[in-house]
Amino acid sequence: MIPACRLVDLSRGEAHRLDIDPPVSVFHTDDGELFAIDDTCTHQDASLADGWLEGCEVECPLHASKFNLKTGAVDAPPAKLPVRTHEVFVEDGMIYVRLSTAAPNLPPCIAARLAGGVA
Amino acid sequence: MVGASLAGLSAARSLRKQGYDGRLVVIGDELHRPYDRPPLSKEFLAGGIGEADLALEPDDEDLQAEWLLGARAAGLDTTPRAVRLTDGREVRADGIVIATGASARTLPGMDGLSGVHTLRTLDDARALRDELARGGRLVVIGGGFIGAEVASTACALGLDVTIVEAAPTPLAGPLGATMGSIVSALHADHGVRLLCGVGVKGLSGETRVDAVLMEDGRSLPADIVVVGVGARPCVDWLAGSGVDIDDGVTCGADGRTSLAGVVAVGDCASWYDPRAGTHRRVEHWTGARERPDAAVAALLSWGESEPGVPRPPYFWSDQYGVKIQFAGYASRADSVTIEEGAAGDRNVLAVYRRAGHPVAVLGMNQPRLFMRWRKQLAANTS
Ligand SMILES: Cc1cc2nc3c(=O)[nH]c(=O)nc-3n(C[C@H](O)[C@H](O)[C@H](O)COP(=O)(O)OP(=O)(O)OC[C@H]3O[C@@H](n4cnc5c(N)ncnc54)[C@H](O)[C@@H]3O)c2cc1C
Ligand code: FES
């Protein structure tokens, strides 16, 4: 369970990135819902916290893949693999994230770097 | 669906998503299933990713379509509505989506000389990748995005690279002269020579190219030449069909052509752009991906739905590790200011304005700020 930020500090339509490895982002939708997903796009190295949040979807800032915040599924290419979703809850005004135990779908460039290959 | 690439696939997906459950035929002259072109000048050319990574369809996708691959459309008939193939077959249809894209322009005299390449298809990229792997001197003709990306990739592979550009500043069309020169300064940063303002007279070589001959009399020795002088829309097959063609297929703001039951999308289509007040052929990935939604809606309802205003055109380019992003219309601007970063640091965020209102934005390694501006642009000008 990781503390993210205070709810009052995350306005609707904004995202907060947790600098853990791999990074995770919490999104506060315009409807007031909170979601946490892996921050790195599964296509290439882009931060989804920098993306275009609309409804329950975030569009990657680079090549416009769309991810469903509820399920992590890819709603629009070029990405093909989903991002992981994480549990979010608020306690005493603080947003917490409980990380998924599934393996992340990191993009090839990052997976190669982690494996010690050429980036 | 004529054309089995990004725009054709996106249209097929949109049709199914919008509830069309009838017969769907996708005709494509390449033998490959739809693949992604942007990596062909970037990661794929560099050898970082393979062919399987280029596939645009996930393994579990099934659109219930009939794929006629390796089949080339030769004509379009209206009564009855049908697509004629070069092998004599005819595919009748209630609706037709034209998505035949564009093909690389060539230079006279390059046919028959080995070592001279254009880059548009997977087959082109395979051939060029194999040649680049052998190293040597590369001359890129054309300082546009594809030429610049090939130069950047080849430079990283250790080749000796020269770019020749006929215009005084590369990328002045899409980015304007000021930002075009800032972006193309990346070449010099990495030891790639850039010669501007000189045209190419021809190529020399017996069977294989050995030099590029310039109009000012210079001769640039070359082992490999890449011709990156733009693309022309693949619309020749529509001659005689009655569909309006200017620069590509002329379309309304929702992709409808001058023929009932026929829409056009992607690089071959010149949509009316309500923001710009003119027709514009947009040759960017995101347009080919997004606009089929609107075109398919128009095809299914034919005129009963009002076209929305599409988002301003957006594209990206990766050069020398710098992520370049652009949205909007540089040509409409009367000023451009750097709002963040510095030209020398290659991390600028520049905003183009017309009479004080933002009309375009350029980012170099500024994805976060860029997205803010891009959203504002979409909201402002709608
Ligand atoms: C090397 C390269 C790098 C690029 N990089 C970027 C980038 O970084 N960012 C960006 O925004 N955009 C980029 N683009 C542009 C982007 O790839 C195109 O905008 C996109 O591919 C357009 O899709 P399309 O389906 O309209 O056309 P195309 O992808 O050209 O597909 C058209 C298809 O129709 C087929 N066809 C043509 N004529 C016929 C016929 N008569 N019968 C049957 N089939 C036919 C063609 O063979 C082709 O398969 C790049 C393009 C290239 C080539
Ligand atoms: S990096 Fe996200 S779509 Fe390419």
Whether residue B83 has pLDDT greater than 80: yes
Whether residue B113 has pLDDT greater than 70: yes
Whether residue A118 has pLDDT greater than 50: no
Closest CA relative to residue B56, chosen from B13, B15, B20? B13
Structural domain includes residue B311? no
Distance CA B180, CA B375 (A): 23
Structure confidence by residue, pLDDT tens digits, B21-42 = 999 999 999 999 999 999 999 9
pLDDT confidence tier of residue B334, bands split at 50, 70 and 90: very high
Structure confidence by residue, pLDDT tens digits, A30-46 = 999 999 999 999 999 99
Distance CA A103, CA B1 (A): 38
Tokens of B202: 């021809």
Whether the CB of B264 sits within 6 Å of ligand 1: no
Closest CA relative to residue B179, chosen from B352, B373, B376? B352
CB spacing of A52 vs B323 below 8 angstroms: no
Instruction: Please state the ipTM of this predicted complex.
Output: 0.88
Whether residue B382 has pLDDT greater than 80: no
% of chain B surpassing 90 pLDDT = 91
For chain A, the average pLDDT equals 92
CB spacing of A77 vs B371 below 8 angstroms: no
Each as own residue / partner, the long-range contacts of residues A55-62 (CB below 8 Å, 24 or more positions apart, any chain) are A55/A29, A55/A30, A55/A31, A56/A29, A56/A31, A58/A15, A58/A27, A61/B367, A61/B368, A61/B370, A61/B371, A62/B316, A62/B323, A62/B325, A62/B367
Q: How many domains does chain B have?
A: 3
**Contact A18/B at CB under 8 A:** no
B129 and B207 assigned to the same domain: yes
The residues lining ligand 2, judged by C-beta closer than 6 Å to any ligand atom, are A 41, 43-44, 46, 60, 62-63, 65, 78-79
Minimal-distance CA residue to ligand 1 atom 4 = B38
Q: Which domain holds residue B45?
A: 6-103+232-300
Whole-number pLDDT of residue B311: 87
pLDDT confidence tier of residue B202, bands split at 50, 70 and 90: very high
pLDDT confidence tier of residue B225, bands split at 50, 70 and 90: very high
Whether residue A119 has pLDDT greater than 50: no
B326 and B275 assigned to the same domain: no
Structural domain includes residue B115? yes
Whole-number pLDDT of residue A115: 67
Distance CA B97, CA B120 (A): 21
Whole-number pLDDT of residue B110: 87
DSSP-based helix, strand, coil % in chain A, nearest 5 = 10, 40, 50
B28 and B57 assigned to the same domain: yes
Whole-number pLDDT of residue B309: 79
Whether residue B246 has pLDDT greater than 90: yes
- As a whole number, mean pLDDT of residues A72-89 equals 94
B329 and B285 assigned to the same domain: no
pLDDT confidence tier of residue B307, bands split at 50, 70 and 90: confident
Whole-number pLDDT of residue A111: 73
Closest listed ligand to the CA of A64: 2
Residue B382 Cα, gap to closest chain A Cα (Å): 17
Domain of B345, CATH number, reads 3.30.390.30
| Peptide linkage before B39 cis (omega within 30 of 0) | no
B258 and B288 assigned to the same domain: yes
B288 and B345 assigned to the same domain: no
B113 and B213 assigned to the same domain: yes
DSSP letters of A27-67? EE-TTS-EEEEESB-SSSS-BGGGSEEETTEEE-TTT--EE
B45 and B34 assigned to the same domain: yes
Query: Is there a contact between B205 and B213 (Cβ–Cβ < 8 Å)?
Result: no
Domain of B270, CATH number, reads 3.50.50.60
Pocket test for ligand 1, best of B37, B85, B117 (most atoms within 8 A of CB): B37
Which of A59, A80, A81, A106 to substitute to test the interface with B, most B CBs within 10 Å? A80
Positive or negative, the CA dihedral B67, B128, B268, B183 is: positive
Structural domain includes residue B280? yes
- Where is the domain boundary, B202, B229, B256? B229
Whether residue B321 has pLDDT greater than 60: yes
Distance CA B115, CA A6 (A): 61
Amino acid occupying residue B300: L
Closest listed ligand to the CA of B295: 1
For chain B, the average pLDDT equals 95
B163 and B192 assigned to the same domain: yes
Structure confidence by residue, pLDDT tens digits, B115-163 = 999 999 999 999 999 999 999 999 999 999 999 999 999 999 999 999 9
Whether residue A117 has pLDDT greater than 70: no
Amino acid occupying residue B2: V
Residues whose CB is less than 8 angstroms from the CB of residue B363 and which lie 6 or more positions away in sequence, other chains included: B323, B324, B325, B326, B348, B349, B350, B369, B370, B373
Query: Is there a contact between B97 and B83 (Cβ–Cβ < 8 Å)?
Result: no
Higher local confidence (pLDDT), B29 or B378: B29
Pick the CATH number of A2-114 from 2.102.10.10, 3.40.50.300, 3.40.309.10, 2.40.50.140: 2.102.10.10
Structural domain includes residue B33? yes
Structural domain includes residue B362? yes
Whole-number pLDDT of residue A116: 59
Structural domain includes residue B80? yes
- As a whole number, mean pLDDT of residues A8-15 equals 95
Whether residue B176 has pLDDT greater than 80: yes
- Where is the domain boundary, B208, B229, B250? B229
Query: Is there a contact between B371 and A52 (Cβ–Cβ < 8 Å)?
Result: yes
Structural domain includes residue B1? no
Whole-number pLDDT of residue A114: 67
